[in-house]
Amino acid sequence: MVPKSFGFMMFLWVQTAANISVTGIIGSTVELRCDELNGTFILNNFRVTWRKEGEIKCFVETYDSDEDLTSYREKNQCADFRDRTRFKEELKEGKFTLQLLRITPKDEFTYTCVVLKKNEEGKFEVHREVKTNLKVAANYSAPVLTHIPSGEETTFNCTSSHGYPQPKVYWVNHTDISLLNSTQQYTRAPDGTITVFSTLTVKAATAIKLECTIENEQLHQNLTATIDTSSPENSPSVDNSPSKTKGAVLASVAAVLIVILLILYIGWKKRRTSVLMTYTAPAEIGNRNFGLPE
Ligand SMILES: *[C@@H]1O[C@H](CO)[C@@H](O)[C@H](O)[C@H]1NC(C)=O
Ligand SMILES: *[C@@H]1O[C@H](CO)[C@@H](O)[C@H](O)[C@H]1NC(C)=O
Ligand SMILES: *[C@@H]1O[C@H](CO)[C@@H](O)[C@H](O)[C@H]1NC(C)=O
Ligand SMILES: *[C@@H]1O[C@H](CO)[C@@H](O)[C@H](O)[C@H]1NC(C)=O
Ligand SMILES: *[C@@H]1O[C@H](CO)[C@@H](O)[C@H](O)[C@H]1NC(C)=O
Ligand SMILES: *[C@@H]1O[C@H](CO)[C@@H](O)[C@H](O)[C@H]1NC(C)=O
Ligand SMILES: *[C@@H]1O[C@H](CO)[C@@H](O)[C@H](O)[C@H]1NC(C)=O
C-alpha cells in the first residue's frame, strides 16, 4: 500500500537548496538537520522524507502527521538503514532532524530532506529540499614508531590504527626538514576503520632524527611520533596532543595529591600539638592512634 503522493513526489524533486556538510564519527550518531525556518506552519500539512541521493527505490526515513506509515516504512525503507534512524522529537517545531545511528563508512552519501506540503486541493507539493553531504571519520591512534638497525640499513616502522578515512603519511628528516620516501600498507577492520603501516628504509648508518606524521584530513588532525637514533636510550618518543593532555592531567593529579598530603600532614601536626598541650600526653602518643585519647 503505497501512499498516493509517493510517485508524485519523485518527479518533482528537482530544485536544490543549501549544501550542508556534516562529519559523522564511526560507531556514533550523527544528526542531519532539516529545519523549517518559517515558524508559521501547521504540522499536519506536511510530510517529510529523507532520501539517499540517487536512490529512488527506497528511502531512509519518512514521517507523515496524518497517516500511519509503519507498514509503508517496513516495505520501502532502505535495508541498510533499518533500525538505525529516528527523528529527533522536534517535529512539531518544524525541525525534521534525522538521527543516523551507528555510523559506518558505507553511510557516506548526500542525503536529501524533502518536505512536502499540502496545497489547497489537498495534494502534496514539494515545499523545500535540503541536501546534506555526510562524511565519515574516525580518530587514528597515536602513531608508534619503531626501528631495527641491520648492517648498512635501518628500517623504521610507523603504525597507527582504527582511523578513517585513509590517512596521509609524512616522514620528515628533522635535520633538514625534508620529506622522505616511504611505503604504506593499509588494513581494514570489520567496522571499516583503517590501520596504516608505513615503512621507511634509510641507507646511512649514521644517527638520524625522524618524525612520522599521520594526517586525518577529514578531522583536520595531525598525529606525530618522533625518533632520534642518536639519543642514549634510542627509544622513540610519541609527541601528540592526546599524550600531552594525558601528561597535563597526570601532572595536575599529582599536584592535587601533594596538596592533600600536605593538608593531612599539617592537620595531623596540629592535632598532635593540641593533644600534647591539653593532655600532657605520655611518651607513646602519636603512634597508631594519632594521639587521640581512648
Ligand atoms: C555541494 O557539495 C558537493 C559535495 O561536497 C560538491 O561537489 C558541490 O560542489 C557542492 N555544491 C555547492 C553549490 O556548494
Ligand atoms: C516563508 O517561506 C517562504 C518560502 O519558503 C518565503 O517566501 C517567505 O518569505 C518565508 N516567510 C518568512 C516570514 O520567513
Ligand atoms: C616493520 O614491519 C615489517 C612488516 O610488517 C616487519 O617485518 C618488521 O619487523 C617491522 N620492523 C620493526 C622495526 O618493527
Ligand atoms: C637528513 O638530513 C641531513 C642533512 O641534510 C642529511 O645529512 C641526512 O643524510 C638526511 N638523512 C636521510 C635519511 O635522508
Ligand atoms: C619512492 O619510492 C617508490 C617505491 O619505493 C618509487 O617508485 C619512487 O620513485 C620513489 N620516489 C622518490 C621521489 O624517490
Ligand atoms: C598536517 O601536516 C601536513 C604536512 O605537514 C600539513 O600540510 C597540514 O596542514 C597539517 N594539518 C594540520 C591540521 O595541522
Ligand atoms: C580525536 O582525538 C583528539 C585528540 O586525541 C580529540 O581532541 C578529539 O576530540 C577526538 N575526536 C573524536 C571525534 O573523538
54 found inside a domain? yes
What per-residue confidence (pLDDT) applies to 287?
Answer: 43
Instruction: Single out the residue in 117, 137, 157 at which a domain terminates.
Output: 137
255 found inside a domain? no
32 found inside a domain? yes
- What's the rounded Cα separation, in Å, for the pair 155 and 59? 51
**Ligand 5 in contact with 184 (CB < 6 A)?**
no
Q: Which residues pair with 164 in a beta bridge?
A: 138
The answer to whether residues 81 and 172 belong to one domain is no
35 found inside a domain? yes
Instruction: For residue 40, give the 3-state DSSP assignment.
Output: coil
The answer to whether residues 193 and 208 belong to one domain is yes
Nearest CA to ligand 1 atom 14: 19
The answer to whether residues 81 and 190 belong to one domain is no
In this structure, what DSSP letter does residue 224 have? E
What per-residue confidence (pLDDT) applies to 207?
Answer: 81
**Mean pLDDT for all residues in the chain:** 79
- Say how many domains are in the chain: 2
291 found inside a domain? no
CB neighbour list of residue 138: distance below 8 Å, 6 or more residues apart: 25, 26, 27, 162, 163, 164, 193
Grid coordinates representing 42? 501547521
The answer to whether residues 218 and 132 belong to one domain is no
222 found inside a domain? yes
Distance 202 CA to ligand 3 centre (A): 14
Residue 35 predicted with pLDDT over 90: no
User: Average of pLDDT values for 75-89?
Assistant: 92
Distance 187 CA to ligand 4 centre (A): 31
Residue 292 predicted with pLDDT over 50: no
Residue 158 predicted with pLDDT over 60: yes
Residue ranges making up the domain that contains 223: 144-246
Instruction: Single out the residue in 137, 154, 170 at which a domain terminates.
Output: 137
Model confidence pLDDT, tens digit, residues 92-146: 777 889 999 999 999 999 999 998 888 888 888 888 889 999 999 999 999 999 9
Q: Give the CATH number, domain containing residue 123.
A: 2.60.40.10
72-76, 254-258, 270-274: the lowest-pLDDT one: 270-274
Grid coordinates representing 32? 542531519
Ligand 6 atom closest to the Cα of residue 213 is: 2
Grid coordinates representing 287? 603512634
Alpha helices in the chain (DSSP H): 5-12, 70-76, 241-279
Describe the strand order of the beta sheet including 30-32 as a list of residue ranges: 30-32, 98-100, 85-87
16-20, 48-52, 168-172, 229-233: the lowest-pLDDT one: 16-20
The answer to whether residues 115 and 161 belong to one domain is no
The answer to whether residues 18 and 90 belong to one domain is yes
Instruction: Single out the residue in 246, 264, 285 at which a domain terminates.
Output: 246
Nearest CA to ligand 5 atom 14: 181
Ligand 7 atom closest to the Cα of residue 241 is: 4
Using CA atoms, how far residue 181 sits from 13, 159, 184, 212, 288, in Å, is 49, 16, 10, 11, 66
274 found inside a domain? no
Q: What residue type is assigned to position 76 of the chain?
A: N
User: Average of pLDDT values for 83-100?
Assistant: 87
Model confidence pLDDT, tens digit, residues 60-69: 999 987 888 8
16 found inside a domain? yes
